[in-house]
Chains A and B, each alone.
Chain A
Amino acid sequence: MIWLLRDIELLSVLARAATLAFEALLLGGVAFLVVVVRPARASEAVGNFCRRGIRLAALAFVVGELAMISSSGAILMGGSDLTLKDVMNTSYFRADSFAILSAIGLWICARLKSNKATVVMLPLGLLLLAATVSNSHAAARIDHRVVLAILTAAHHLGTAAWVGAMAYLLISLGRVEDPYEARRLTQRYSRMALLSAPVLVLAGVGMARFYVGSWSRLYTTAYGIMLVAKIYLFLAMIALGVGNWFLVRRLASDPEPLLTRLRRVVEAEVCLGFFAVLTAASVTAQAPAVDVSAQDRLTSHEIFVRMHPEPPRMSSPPLAVLTPPSSLAVAVQNSQFGATVGSDDIDRAWSEYNHHWAGLIVVIAGLLALLSRHRTMRWARFWPLTFAGLAVFILLRADPENWPLGPRSFWQSFSAPDVLEHRFGALLIMVFAAFECAVQAGKLRAWGSTYVFPAMCALGAAMLLTHEHSAIDVKEALIAEMSHTPIALLGITAGCSRWLELRLPKSRMAPIASYLWPLCLALAGFVLLNYRELP
């Protein structure tokens, strides 16, 4: 039962992340329809498509909210003697129900298509925003609640009008046959983005002032580290956005090829935007940096001791000297009220060895991919084979207390969330290695197959950004976060650049992208090679 509740807790956090993304898509759709499609006098096809997107986002949002209400209710009732009636009296239940009703209202309006229905979408969207803000960090703060609620609302609105609406622009550009209509849509969207991006930034800076408090907390707390990751993604989006801005200005001269290029770049930008939303969900799952006590923050000295370059560990302690695993029943019981995975120096040396070998494999893969760019080094294109070795390595060594090395059986081992993540990761890597090898060899030419690599990069990065480090010591978890987050960001960059290379094969961007992703891969390997758990 306890284990089931842990899984439900997992679902609760995941549902929260999903609703944040679908909220951006839903409100972004409304903004795009009202601010871009209608004034630009777009064709009926674009309007219909936009409404269909809003309906899909509304449904997904409702499903996410329902999952969140149910999982939070189950956790509340499971960990106490509260009844369903009690749960229905909580403020989060009321706010979520209100958000669901608003989303249903938006779905109905998107179905009606009339002008009146479109106008009604605006107040409904604002009501939905108010409901979600009332369940944000701001609502629970002891001080400055009103200011923080306004800043949060502005931040959500800026995200929706910039990132959420960008997805609709992308879809619309694919539906438009008249290049001048596409130009009108793009120009109006650009104007909206020019307003919404600064709103997002200013509100974010304002929130950081209250939630982070000082510069040092940006790199000494989990909240700060995730925030830095979010800023990196934002800057990458801005870089692509600036390029798009110049493209839009040139659209009048040569619309057809530029529009295609614009669409491809927007695809990468949308991807980055939703990774930023995912990172935001991770940020909201952390205690604000300003609330983290000094003893739970890293010091500059601790960061230097653990992060400065050192030769990797290439020999492993024997399995027999690792901390003996407790029975699954004891582990489950102990885990109910906090993290329990303890480790000594030998366990840490084991973990370092695992990370360093994994790093070496990734460095080799990246360097081989770089070499394969050269005509005489075509054999190096089979670099994905190294990843098959990595998958087997993870399966064998990542969780020594579980099958095949430890006493816990194959099925029992899936109960622990972190082991489940490792197993799922190994499977993903194996699938990726097989697909990419076939793609590189030219045996697999189906449309989707070439995109498996960027998709895997994205999924892997998402897993890393949201990976749980179940260490007893908060600082240990933080150190792990410090090395895993850059790898996630390098993964996202690699995925996006590979995507652009595939989608824009004849542009000037393609050669740059084709060198960028192998470089990111190799850099991720080097970060892993320097991962340390021992001082």
Chain B
Amino acid sequence: MFTPRLIAAIVVAYGIALFAPRVALAHAVLVSSQPGANSTVSGSEIAVLLKYNLRVDMEHSTLTLLVPDGRVEKVAIEGQPAPGLLSAKLTGLVKGAYVLRWQVLAMDGHITRGKIPFQVE
């Protein structure tokens, strides 16, 4: 009755059940950010501080900036003051709408992405 074929079928069935789709993009949570989402800042140079709920791997996390003319610039992560914090600096800002995009690798292997739109006046 319980042949190897049946065992394989059970294993495959579990596999199928487990392979049902889900996209989880909300593992690491951005607790707070500087600049804040949809905020308005002034000046050509601002400090960026991103606080997450988890320990993040700075070396394998990336920040990019969508500037008003549509170009995407890479932003260097300067440091990690605490395990869940990332700091950077944005320079050469002009008046307009920006989007700071982040991709972080949490220490549990989850990759999370998000964006912080803000205005420079």
Q: Which of A86, A287, A463 has the most CB of B within 10 A?
A: A287
Given the complex of chains A and B, what is the CA–CA distance between A452 and B1 in angstroms?
19
Residue of B nearest to A171 (CB): B2
Chain B binder among A8-16, A185-193, A201-209, A377-385: A8-16
Whether a CB of chain A sits under 8 angstroms from the CB of B86 is no
Contacts A72-B111, A278-B17, A287-B29 known; A91 to B57 CB distance under 8 Å? yes
**A139-B108, A170-B2, A175-B2 given as contacts; is B22 within 8 A of A288 (CB)?**
no
Most buried by A among B1, B7, B115: B7
Within 8 A of B (CB), among A239-270: 270
What's the nearest-Cβ distance from chain A to residue B24, in Å? 3
* Contact indicator B23/A86 (Cβ below 8 Å): no
CB distance from B59 to the nearest CB of A (A): 7
Q: How far does the alpha carbon of A171 sit from the alpha carbon of B8 in the complex, in Å?
A: 11
Q: A274-B17, A337-B101, A459-B20 are in contact. Are A91 and B107 (CB under 8 A)?
A: yes
Residue A501 interfacial (CB < 8 Å): no
Question: Chain A's nearest CB lies how many Å from the CB of B63?
Answer: 9
Instruction: Check A467 against B2 for contact (C-beta < 8 Å).
Output: no
Report whether A17 and B2 are in contact in the complex, using a CB–CB cutoff of 8 Å. no
Q: Which of B3-59 contact A (CB under 8 A)?
A: 4, 7-8, 10-11, 13-29, 31, 53-57, 59
Q: Which residues of B contact A137 (CB under 8 A)?
A: 108
Interface segment, one of A53-61, A104-112, A359-367, A434-442: A53-61
Q: Which residue of B lies closest to A90 (CB)?
A: B60
Chain A residues near B23 (CB-CB < 8 A): 6, 9-10, 13, 417, 468, 470
**Contact residues in B for A141 (Cβ distance below 8 Å):** 54-55
Task: Please report whether the interface of chain A is mostly helix, strand, loop or mixed according to DSSP.
Answer: helix
A86: nearest chain-B partner, CB-CB: B60
- Give bound CA distance, A142 to B23, whole Å: 24
Tell me if A140 and B103 are in contact (CB < 8 A): no
Question: Which of B10, B22, B82 has the most CB atoms of chain A within a 10 A radius of its CB?
Answer: B22
The listed residue with most A CB atoms (<10 A of its CB), out of B17, B19, B53, B62, is B17
Using a CB-CB cutoff of 8 Å, which residues 415-470 of chain A contact chain B?
417, 420-421, 455, 458-459, 462-463, 465-468, 470
B10 surroundings in chain A (CB, below 8 A): 167, 270
Name the A residues within 8 Å of B13 (CB-CB). 455, 458
Check if A174 is an interface residue, CB within 8 A of chain B.
yes
Which residue from A60, A139, A337, A417 sits with its C-beta under 8 Å from B107?
A139
Residue of B nearest to A14 (CB): B19
B residues within 8 A CB of A17? 18-19, 22
Complex CA distance for A64 and B4, rounded to whole angstroms: 21
**B11 contacts A338, CB within 8 Å?**
no
Residues from chain B with a CB closer than 8 A to the CB of A274 are 14, 17-18
* A contact residues around B101 at 8 Å (CB): 337
Q: Which residues of chain B are near A82, meaning CB under 8 Å?
A: 60, 62
Q: How many residues of B contact A (CB 8 A)?
A: 49
Residues of B contacting A336 in the complex (Cβ-Cβ under 8 angstroms): 113
Cβ of A52 within 8 Å of any chain B Cβ, yes or no, is yes
Most interface-central of A13, A137, A140, A338 (chain B CB within 10 A) = A140
Q: Is the CB of A288 within 8 A of B53?
A: yes
Question: How far is it, in angstroms, between the C-alpha of A20 and the C-alpha of B59 when the chains are bound?
Answer: 27
> What are 25 A-B residue pairs whose CB atoms fall within 8 Å in the complex?
A9-B25, A18-B15, A18-B18, A20-B18, A56-B8, A56-B11, A68-B109, A72-B111, A81-B74, A82-B62, A91-B57, A135-B109, A137-B108, A140-B108, A142-B54, A167-B10, A278-B18, A281-B18, A286-B26, A337-B101, A417-B21, A458-B17, A462-B20, A465-B20, A466-B21
The 7 residue pairs across chains A and B that have the minimum distance between CB atoms: A92-B109, A174-B2, A285-B24, A466-B22, A80-B62, A291-B53, A140-B107
Q: A285-B24, A455-B13 are in contact. List 18 more A-B contacts (CB 8 A).
A: A10-B22, A17-B19, A18-B19, A21-B18, A79-B111, A82-B60, A140-B28, A140-B56, A142-B82, A174-B1, A285-B22, A287-B26, A337-B113, A338-B25, A417-B21, A458-B17, A459-B16, A474-B26
